[in-house]
Amino acid sequence: MGIAVVSKPAFPDATQFNPDSKYFDPKAATDNPRWFNVEITLVKRTRRILIKELRQYPELSRMRVLQTGNRLSITPVDPAEWQFIMAIL
């Protein structure tokens, strides 16, 4: 748990081209990859904040990750929401 930054831009995941890999994708080609990786670097460790806790704060009531049907890994965070969360860490 923590804050991280993308430290290397997206690059093709080599396992998609390897027939012996469980991540092999027969539709992927080196000139047209389907799967990408990014490298991240830890900036700061934080405590775990559960969604249940986030829902308690009216300041975060419009936060997308708290809306039904959103996936945690792909939801943007508004700058004001980010500042609020940083303050409760």
Is the pLDDT at 72 greater than 90, yes or no?
A: no
Q: What is the DSSP-derived secondary structure letter of residue 68?
A: T
Say what the pTM is. Answer: 0.69
Q: What is the largest CA-CA distance in the chain?
A: 50
pLDDT digits (tens, 9 = 90+) for 4-52: 999 999 999 999 999 999 999 999 999 999 999 999 999 999 999 999 9
Beta partners for residue 45, in sequence order? 2
Whether the per-residue pLDDT at 74 is higher than 90: the answer is: no
- Whether 71 has a pLDDT exceeding 80, the answer reads no
DSSP for 15-53 reads GGG-TTSTT--TT-BTTB-S-EEEEEEEEEE-----HHH
